Structure 1
Amino acid sequence: MNKIVLIIKREYLSRVKKRSFLLVTFLVPLAIIGIYGLTIYLTARSFENSKATVHVIDQSGLFSGKIESTKNITFLPVATAENTANQREQLLDADGKNFLLIIPSDFATSSRAELISRETASLTVQGEISRKLENVLRDIAFTNAGIDRATVESIRPEVTLAAKEITDEGEKDSSAGAAMGIAMSLSILVYICLFLYGSQVMRGIIEEKNSRIVEVIISSVKPFQLMMGKIIGIGLVGLTQFILWIFLSTTLMGVASAGLIDGQDLKAKVEQQQALSNGEAAQDRSQMGMLGTVKQELDKVDFRTIITTFLLYFFGGYLLYSALFAAVGSAVDSETETQQFMFPITIPLLFTYILSFGVLVNDPHGPLSFWLSMIPFTSPIAMLVRIPFGVPAWEIGLSLVLLIGGFILTTWVAARIYRVGILMYGKKASYKELVKWFRYKG
């Protein structure tokens, strides 16, 4: 046991002390927040740059003085008599984003118009122009039918559905939208990280095997001790990195939120909204803005349970899959030879990852979701996708017990392959060879 602890300490400290580890650990949260900030900035700029001028040639006569300019689009009427080829060229050659909208005389029946430009108009511009024309046609249809459109528009009831979840402690608010977003994020994160840290185990074994360092090491320790030490040591590195990422991201997001909005005012608005009736809540939500709505939905999520289970399933899934990666690393002499063994290992995770975007999110409590969260090879992703939607404690406990059992069984199988493969050189291993190594006695 002391030898395993020494190997764990060596694997952990040798990686944690690297400059690359420190840079990645502290720069990733900054990079993520920076990417989000840059995305918001560029999105805002794109809306500013989408301002356009639309010259309207109305041959139908239905839209005279009825198309109002918006914040992004300025509509300028053009006399029909000036509708010549030269006039079109002059309009399109003007500075800025210029478009020529031609409304034919039969537009009332055909509902087809032409938008001419030097460059293809964006979907935003096309959609806004289409809505403007549709609104005018709708007004004309209401007038012909003797219907007051203002009355029709005033009859737009908005329903606020307050989702509640019954727990052992009583009822609590729940948010399907926030749960879905968190579930998708966790499935992507776990899928990537299991391979990221598992491949480090495999790569380290291949390097030690090729440099023949492993021959010196196993003269002092057993192959099983070496394998377990490397697996647990690198796993603790990943766990340390995740804990630091969570702490740093939470701190930075708190600082960023404080700079964007007054937290006390936001909290007061949230409490006020919860006390309002459905109709008043809908109106108050629009006043509170997108940021307040997002914060209110996130307040309904049990982040303590999510973070705790994430760390447990990440570490459990890592231990299970890294044992398989260790067996693969001991069976080959280079990373190029690992592909034939990697594909069967990736199938369960890939299958669950794909299902997480459909079946697991749409039916998190169905039979397929339940069994996927119980099978050790699929539970690290399946259960983390289900947890934001609320999972009974007994299911989480049973899943973790099965995951631990799967890790023990997988480690036993991988260790029997590892003890032989780690000393094999120059021979390409096959599945048949792996079976032979597994059956070797001694």
Structure 2
Amino acid sequence: MMSLSLIVKREFVAKVRNKSFIVMTFLSPLLFTAMAMLVGYLASVNDDEVIKIAIHDESGMLEPDFKDTKKIEYVNLSEMPLAVAKEKAAKSYEGLIYVPKVATPLELEKKVEYISDESPSMDFIDGVQDVINDKLFRYNLEQKNINYEEIGKAKAESEIHLSKFSGEESLKWLNEIKIGIGFAFGYLIMMFIIIYGNMVMRSVIEEKTNRIIEIIISSVKPFKLMMGKIIGTSMAGILQFLIWAILGTILIFVVAGVFGMKVGTGAVTPEMVEAGKNSMGEMQAYLNEIWNLPLGMMAGCFLVYFIGGFFLYSSIYASIGAAVDSETDSQQFLLPIILPLMLGVYVGFFTVINDPHGTVATVFSMIPLTSPIVMMMRIPFGVPVWQIIVSVVLLFATFLLVVWFAAKIYRIGILMYGKKPTYKEIFKWLKY
């Protein structure tokens, strides 16, 4: 036990004192904050950008229906010959909407053409088609002597009142908030496994390449060495994550305080005050719902699945590091590790949000290779305790089984040099 604690301490200290570890620990939150601010700035620049679209309407039926928006300005070139309009549009405008001469609007259904050297966005094309469709719809109503304005007045917008069987109010976007929280937890676990699992593997490869491992292995068993590396690296990773969380929270408040205030004051109308009250009331309702979530269980389960998932995958990473001589050789073995993690994210995101208690979501929250991600996405929706217990037991039982197999690979591969192992050879090692 003493040798294990020494290895854990050695790995932890080696990681924490590493210059790149220290720099990235304190620099990463700043980089992410700067990147978020840059993305926000670029998005605001794009919002202010207005594109100009030329229109050549020989029929005179559609041009009045194209209205300028915040992002699009329409310019009428219908008075020019088509060839001249095309030439001018090619030089000065984003594109040209060409409407041929027709007898009735119905003939426009498939004859309108958009001319541009650049491929237009789907939103723009949908907008043009909406204008054409609305024109045809109005024309069809006129042919049937139906008043379009009366149809507009007859339309109604309903709103479903959501509540629980207990009589409590429920909110429209609550499921999206739950899946967002669950996805954040699951994604953190996946990123931690990938980043620090690779760190475990690189540490093994480095010591193996430098032949330091031959000295270490003479005084400690391979199994203890592998477990020491996994535990020491995980402790360094948890420390780094805690520092990121603290610095990230501080930076969020600082950025919100510095850039969140609007300069100047404008006239405040009673309508704005009422809208503000409604939005604040709705926000308070969402905050109450979030507070009513099983936050304690979510935090506890996050820690359990965080540790279990990392230990499970890190033992595989360590065995791969022992089996190869360089990171290049390890690439062929990494895909089988990444695939279950990706599968867990996609299953969780596309299945849990629609049916968190369905068969697919339940099964994948039990499978150890995907349970740390999928179960964390299910827990905000409420999961029976017995399912969590079964999932955790299976996760740690699989971890112990994988550690047993990984130790066999580690014990043999740690002292092998100059040969690229195949899956067949690694399978033979398991029999020794």
Taking structure 1 as the reference length, the TM-score comes to 0.79
Alignment partners' CA distance in 1, 2:13 and 2:104 = 74
Shift of 1:435: 5.1
- What are the superposed Cα offsets for residues 335-385 of structure 1, whole Å, 9 maximum, x if unpaired? 333345444444543443443343344332122322322232221222123
1:164–1:172 Cα contact (<8 Å) kept: yes
Identity %: 35
Secondary structure of the residue aligned to 1:250 is helix
Shift of 1:6: 1.7
Counterpart of 2:29 in structure 1 is 29
Alignment equivalent of 1:105, drawn from 102, 105, 124: 102
2:368–2:395 Cα contact (<8 Å) kept: yes
The residue identity in structure 2 corresponding to 1:205 is V
Structure 1 pair 337–298 and aligned structure 2 pair: CA distance change class (3 A): same
Counterparts of residues 101-250 of structure 1 (less than 5 Å) = 101-106=98-103, 108-110=105-107, 111=109, 112-117=111-116, 119-154=118-153, 155-160=155-160, 162=162, 164=164, 175-250=174-249
Secondary structure of the residue aligned to 1:39 is helix
Secondary structure of the residue aligned to 1:358 is helix
Secondary structure of the residue aligned to 2:395 is helix
Shift of 1:270: 4.1
Counterpart of 1:283 in structure 2 is none
Secondary structure of the residue aligned to 1:105 is coil
The residue identity in structure 2 corresponding to 1:130 is Q
Alignment partners' CA distance in 1, 2:429 and 2:89 = 79
The residue identity in structure 2 corresponding to 1:318 is F
Alignment partners' CA distance in 2, 1:52 and 1:138 = 27
1:178–1:297 Cα contact (<8 Å) kept: no
Structure 1 pair 133–377 and aligned structure 2 pair: CA distance change class (3 A): closer
Counterpart of 2:83 in structure 1 is 85
Shift of 1:160: 4.3
1:52–1:99 Cα contact (<8 Å) kept: no
Counterparts of residues 255-270 of structure 1 (less than 5 Å) = 255-258=254-257, 259-260=259-260, 269-270=278-279
Shift of 1:432: 5.3
- What are the superposed Cα offsets for residues 74-128 of structure 1, whole Å, 9 maximum, x if unpaired? 3344455x435235434554x4546353243146123231233454444444333
1:67–1:136 Cα contact (<8 Å) kept: no
Shift of 1:237: 1.6
Structure 1 pair 150–344 and aligned structure 2 pair: CA distance change class (3 A): same
Structure 1 pair 149–348 and aligned structure 2 pair: CA distance change class (3 A): same
Moved more, 225-234 or 133-142: 133-142
Alignment partners' CA distance in 1, 2:293 and 2:87 = 57
1:54–1:73 Cα contact (<8 Å) kept: no
> What is the aligned residue count?
416
Alignment partners' CA distance in 2, 1:260 and 1:298 = 24
2:348–2:361 Cα contact (<8 Å) kept: no
Shift of 1:318: 0.9
Taking structure 2 as the reference length, the TM-score comes to 0.81
The residue identity in structure 1 corresponding to 2:217 is I
Structure 1 pair 56–325 and aligned structure 2 pair: CA distance change class (3 A): same
1:410 lines up with 2:410 in the alignment: no
Alignment partners' CA distance in 2, 1:211 and 1:435 = 26
Alignment partners' CA distance in 2, 1:326 and 1:98 = 57
Structure 1 pair 68–392 and aligned structure 2 pair: CA distance change class (3 A): same
1:320–1:406 Cα contact (<8 Å) kept: yes
Shift of 1:324: 1.8
Shift of 1:235: 0.9
Counterpart of 1:71 in structure 2 is 70
Give unmatched runs, 5+ long, in structure 2.
263-272
Moved more, 66-75 or 300-309: 300-309
Counterpart of 1:401 in structure 2 is 393
- What are the superposed Cα offsets for residues 383-409 of structure 1, whole Å, 9 maximum, x if unpaired? 123223332333223322322222222
Counterpart of 1:289 in structure 2 is none
Give unmatched runs, 5+ long, in structure 1.
277-292
Counterpart of 2:270 in structure 1 is none
Shift of 1:203: 1.6
Alignment partners' CA distance in 2, 1:323 and 1:119 = 51
Alpha-carbon RMSD across the aligned residues, in angstroms, is 3.6
Structure 1 pair 163–247 and aligned structure 2 pair: CA distance change class (3 A): farther
Alignment partners' CA distance in 2, 1:322 and 1:201 = 7
Secondary structure of the residue aligned to 1:115 is strand
